[in-house]
Amino acid sequence: MGFGQLPFFWVIFRANSGVTILRSDIGQGTINEVSLEINVPILLLILPLVGCSMSDDKTIIAEFGTFQPPKRKAACLIQYNGANLGKRYQLGEQKTVVGRTPESHLFVNEASVSRQHAAISPGTAGFEIEDLGSSNGTFINDAKVAARTMLKDGDMIRLGTILFRYFATDNPESIMADKIYRMATIDAGTDIFNKKYLLDALESEMKFARQYQRPLSIIYYDLDHFKKVNDTLGHNGGDVVLRETATVCKATIRKKDVLGRYGGEEFVIVLPDTDQKVAAELAERLRVSIMNHVFKINLDGKTVEHKQTMSLGVSQMTPDMQTIESFLESADKKLYQSKQTGRNKVTV
């Protein structure tokens, strides 16, 4: 098989004395990491395996310039394993509590992490970490934290089984990890979460809601008559409608809510700690916001104004919903009812 047929690329960069290779399978949204202990100069490559084959008889000579990261200094943690592999968590001027409860500033829904596991606080010389009496301990580079400890750039932090790497400032590795995380989790057409991330998040929230007896609701919505939009405004116009709809909805929901593209013009919003009544009120606000929004589409050199509506179904998780599929099916049936009874409405 030629390289041009393989749906992945490699990202290679140096970390301390080793080389980290990330293989990103775009189609499946997965990232696999291999570390090699090779002492080499700093290397930052993105090698897309497109249009190349083993039989190519020409060697392409690549000239490497100096990598220029954005000019900003922001301490952060990058998660190195678990469900949010590659996710960046920005550290601010206030203390950041890391734990397994939604009230934590940095919420990690993993069984090995305590409810309030550790705290990271800004100090005069940088950020310091302290354990908060966790069951499984807090470790820096495999050394257990017994007292408040200053973090150094590149430190590996372990909370239970979850690994983070601390970066005192932005650098090529932290920026690349952020880009890879976005590529694996974000839908390029709408700039919201993709289906894989959405389903993973829903499964995680369902487990959490059962464990802590918290309400959990979802909104399942669909853009009305979207085929007609593509037929009259073209696929570029349809893309604008999809993207702007997602932007309006994203601006309306809370930070902890998860908005994802389920497929085509169908979207799902996961609402932690939300009962059906509150979810229905949010769904109605979303419906009105989209109905009143004016989409401006460039069509054959002219700006065309378009109005769009959507139909929504709202469902709260009940004890008999043991799978993601059963939960989604409940909301999908209500969405179908909205479409069958006139569209542009919310069904609960």
Catalytic residue numbers?
265
The tokens of 155 are what?
A: 């430190």
What secondary structure does DSSP assign to 229-295, as a single string?
HHHHHHHHHHHHHHHHHHHHHHHHS-TTSEEEEEETTEEEEEEET--HHHHHHHHHHHHHHHHHPEE
Bridge partners for 106 per DSSP: 98
Secondary structure (3-state) at 207: helix
Bridge partners for 259 per DSSP: 269
Residues sharing a CB contact under 8 Å with residue 216, sequence separation 6 or more, in sequence order:
205, 206, 209, 270, 271, 272, 273, 274, 316, 317
**Would you say the C-alpha torsion 159, 117, 155, 186 has a positive or negative sign?**
positive
The tokens of 122 are what?
A: 């800004």
